[in-house]
Amino acid sequence: MLRFTLRRLALLVPVLFGLSILLFVWIRALPGDPARSLLGERATPEGIRQIRALYGFDKPLVEQYWAYLGQLVTFDFGSSIRDGRPVTDTFLEQFPATVELAFFAIVFAVVLGIPLGYAAARRRGELVDGAVITGSLIGVVIPVFFLAILLKLVFAIQLDWFPTSSRQDARIDATHITNFYVLDGLLTREFDAAWDAIVHLVLPAVALGTIPLAIIVRITRASVSEVLNEDYVRTAEAKGLHPQVVRRRHVLRNAMLPVLTTIGLQVGLLLSGAVLTESVFAFNGIGSYLFDAIAQRDYPVLQGYILFIALIYSLVNLAVDIGYGLIDPRVRVS
């Protein structure tokens, strides 16, 4: 397992290198000019030339890329064109917000998705199965931004059960150590701040986690249905084993491999798909900052943030592969 992990980590280098080339070309192919976006109405031909020369945009693309690659080798992702702050600093400040949101969204999806999928598989063809399948279809087809607006309108504005925006009430004097607001509240014993951060996470997490929930339900249902028809399950039931033992040891454990793959993929998609959710709820994470960077053609921010997300996505998939070996020893042997 250690050799496999080291080999997968080594493969990240050529993957990220290839991605950096694609990103560099794709971002510069976008319509618009960062110098013109930065200057706005005050843009003049002379001012545009000065900005382009300042950031090296007037040089050939190959020369620009090699300069950028030299920065990447030293883990320097450049500075934002808009505010001049280092990309790494802003990412580390805002990334905890997106991680918290993605974590609560995937917990919501997994905690509900696996039991619902299992129940639908056990009662295949019954009313429960039909209701679960119908609900999962609705969850897949509803756009995230529409569901976010709907949840905000009903539960935050009309019912006033949850806050409408931000990560925490501005009136709470909370101590932030790691910028993970829930964790900070627990570490500093400011439990009111931790609870307030959780309350602010509920609606964004539900909106963001609905599509993963629907997908996990369908994958779990299909996987459990397949395992239930296996001979070893029928043999275990015929031997008189307790239903909970059959469910835990024979059904769920063997059905979890495709579900685990789905969860790993959804975690990566949640990190990259939080843009709309964070924008609707004014949640100060990398999604909203990335959205503004796209509008402003902030090349360093776009390149740095997408590479960061790609790295995290790769590490999550590596963790999923390691999880295979923990669930099924045959994977470790192979």
Q: Rounded to an integer, what is the distance from CA 153 to the centroid of its chain?
A: 24
The answer to whether the pTM exceeds 0.75 is yes
Q: What is the CA radius of gyration of the chain?
A: 24
Task: Copy the structure tokens of residue 273.
Answer: 């798909």
Backbone angles phi, psi at 79, to 5 degrees: -125, 150
42, pLDDT greater than 70: no
How many Å apart are CA 151 and CA 135, to the nearest integer? 17
333, pLDDT greater than 60: no
How many Å apart are CA 181 and CA 184, to the nearest integer? 5
Task: Tell me the residue ranges of DSSP E strands in 204-254.
Answer: none
Per-residue pLDDT tens over the stretch 194-237: 898 899 889 988 888 888 888 888 888 888 777 776 666 667 66
Q: Where are the domains of the chain?
A: 2-73, 87-333
Binning pLDDT at 50, 70 and 90, where does residue 38 land?
Answer: low
- The pLDDT value recorded for residue 76 is 76
Q: Which distant-in-sequence residues (6+ apart) come within 8 Å of 40 by Cβ?
A: none
Q: Which distant-in-sequence residues (6+ apart) come within 8 Å of 72 by Cβ?
A: 20, 307
CA–CA distance from 175 to each of 121, 172, 181, 182, 272 (Å)?
46, 9, 9, 11, 28
The residue with greater pLDDT, 111 or 328, is 111
152 touches 203 (CB < 8 A) = yes
Task: Copy the structure tokens of residue 274.
Answer: 């939080």
Binning pLDDT at 50, 70 and 90, where does residue 41 land?
Answer: low
Q: What percent of the chain has pLDDT over 70?
A: 82
CATH of domain 87-333: 1.10.3720.10
- The pLDDT value recorded for residue 327 is 63
How many Å apart are CA 298 and CA 27, to the nearest integer? 9
The CA-to-CA distance between both ends of the chain, in Å, stands at 10
Q: Work out the average pLDDT over 136-159.
A: 84
- The pLDDT value recorded for residue 245 is 66
Per-residue pLDDT tens over the stretch 6-25: 777 777 778 888 888 887 87
Per-residue pLDDT tens over the stretch 77-128: 777 777 778 888 888 888 888 888 888 998 998 899 888 888 888 777 778 8
Residue in the block written with tokens 């050939």: 60
How many Å apart are CA 220 and CA 113, to the nearest integer? 8
Q: In the beta sheet, which residues pair with residue 86?
A: 79
User: Can you give the length of the chain in residues?
Assistant: 334
Mean pLDDT of the chain: 78
- The pLDDT value recorded for residue 256 is 77
Largest CA distance in the chain: 85
